[in-house]
Amino acid sequence: MDKPPPPRPAVIVHGGAWAIPDDEWKAHREGVARACAAAWGVLAANGAALDAVEAAVTLLEEDPTFDAGVGSVLTRDGVVEMDAAVMDGRDRGVGAVACVRTIRSPFRAARSLLHAEHVMLMGEGAERWAREQGLATCDNADFVVERERRRFEAMRAGAVPADPRAAFDRRPSGPPPTRGPRGTVGCVAIDRGGNIAAGGSTGGTPGKRSGRVGDTPIPGAGLWADNREGGAACTGWGEGILRMGLARTAVSHLRDASAQDAAWLSIREMDARVSGLAGVIILSRDGSIGFGFNTPRMAVSYMDGELADPWVIGNDR
C-alpha cells in the first residue's frame, strides 16, 4: 500500500467575527496577518503546533485592537474578565482558564494546565495557580484601553443595546464606543509531525455579567483538536456557540466534507438550530484550510508551504 503523503504544516488565525467597522478593518487584518506570520515562523523552523498557536495568540493578547488580554471589553461591573484555552490534538489534552483578571497572558495560563491535574481553573483559583507557575501578572487596569472605558460609560448611560447577541449582527453605526463587540482571537495549527493544536483567548462579550463563561475555554464549543480528524477554533456570540458545540460540529463534518465545506456546513447548521452568530476556522489532518462565518465580517489569515506570505481576508466576503 502507498504510504500517505507527509502532513503539510499550515496555520490559520482569526481575530473575531462581528460587524468590524471600516475604520478598524485594516488594524484587524494586519493584526491577524502578523500573528499568522509569527506562528508560521515556528512551523517553518520545524516547531510544534502548540508553540505556533502560542506565538499567534500571545501576540494578539498584547495587541489592543482585539478583545483578548490588553484591549479586552469590560464586564457590567467595569472590569476585564478573560477566558482562554488550548487543545492538543495528540491526546485531546485541554488546558483552560476562565474569569481571570490579573494573569498577563491567559493563554499561557491555559497552556500551563495542559496535561496537569485539572483541565480548567477559574477565578481566584486560576490566579493562584498562575502565580505558583511563575507566570506574569498585572493590574486589571493594565488591560483596559480608552476605547473600552468609553464604551463602558456609554453602556452605563444606556447608549448600547443590552442584548449582546444583537451586537454581533448590527452594522457599524454611531460613535466608536457604542460599536461592538470586539474580536476574540484564536488559532489552529498543524506541524510537520501531523500534530494539530487549537487555542484562543478572549475578554468575552461587552457588558457581560461577572462570572459569565463563554465558548472560548470550553472544548467542543470554542475549540477542538484531534490529530485523527482536524482542529477548529470559534468566535462570535458565545452563548450560541456553546449550545451548538460549534468547534466539534465543524470538525465532525471533516469525515465527509472538505475543510472549507465543513466550516460552512457547521455555520449553516448553527444558524438553523440555535440562531447563532459566529465564525469558525478549521484545519483538516492533511493541512487543508477552511473558514466560515455568518456575521458581517471576520478577521482571518492563513499560511502554508505553498504561499509566499500569509493570506489575509480581503475587503469583502
The residues annotated with a catalytic role in the active site are 184
Give whichever of 7 and 207 is closer to ligand ASP, judged by the CB atom. Answer: 207
Among positions 7, 9, 15, 16, the unique one binding ligand ASP when judged by CB under 6 A: 16
What cell does 293 get? 462565518
Tell me the closest approach of the beta carbon of residue 35 to ligand ASP, in angstroms.
15
Give whichever of 83 and 127 is closer to ligand ASP, judged by the CB atom. Answer: 83
Among positions 172, 214, 292, 310, the unique one binding ligand ASP when judged by CB under 6 A: 214
Tell me which residues in 76-95 interact with ligand ASP (CB under 6 A): none
Tell me the closest approach of the beta carbon of residue 236 to ligand ASP, in angstroms.
5
Q: Give CA–CA dist 6/10, Å, rounded.
A: 13
Give whichever of 246 and 312 is closer to ligand ASP, judged by the CB atom. Answer: 246
* CB-count exposure of residue 138 (10 Å: 0-12, 13-18, 19+): middle
Give whichever of 105 and 205 is closer to ligand ASP, judged by the CB atom. Answer: 205
Cell 472605558 belongs to 149
DSSP 68: S
Tell me which residues in 36-75 interact with ligand ASP (CB under 6 A): 67
Tell me the closest approach of the beta carbon of residue 222 to ligand ASP, in angstroms.
7
Q: Is the peptide bond before 181 cis (omega within 30 degrees of 0)?
A: yes
How many residues bind to ligand ASP according to rule CB under 6 A? 15
Tell me which residues in 231-270 interact with ligand ASP (CB under 6 A): 235-236, 238, 241
Per-residue three-class SS string for 241-286: HHHHCHHHHHHHHHHCCCHHHHHHHHHHHHHHHHCCCEEEEEEECC
Q: Give CA–CA dist 184/66, Å, rounded.
A: 6
| Nearest residue relative to ligand ASP (C-beta) | 238
Tell me which residues in 101-160 interact with ligand ASP (CB under 6 A): none
Give whichever of 202 and 301 is closer to ligand ASP, judged by the CB atom. Answer: 202
Tell me the closest approach of the beta carbon of residue 292 to ligand ASP, in angstroms.
14
Per-residue three-class SS string for 129-185: HHHHCCCCECCHHHHCCHHHHHHHHHHHCCCCCCCHHHHHHCCCCCCHHHCCCCCCE
Tell me the closest approach of the beta carbon of residue 275 to ligand ASP, in angstroms.
15
Binding flags for ligand ASP, 180-209, as an x/- string (CB under 6 A): -x-xx-----------------x-xx----
Tell me the closest approach of the beta carbon of residue 68 to ligand ASP, in angstroms.
9
Give whichever of 205 and 288 is closer to ligand ASP, judged by the CB atom. Answer: 205
> End-to-end CA distance of the chain, in Å?
42
| Dihedral sign computed on CA atoms, order 176, 180, 184, 188 | negative
**Residue (of 2, 106, 47, 49) closest to 226 by Cα position:** 49
Within a 10 A sphere around the Cβ of 193, how many other Cβ atoms? 14
Rule CB under 6 A: which residues touch ligand ASP?
Answer: 16, 67, 181, 183-184, 202, 204-205, 214-216, 235-236, 238, 241
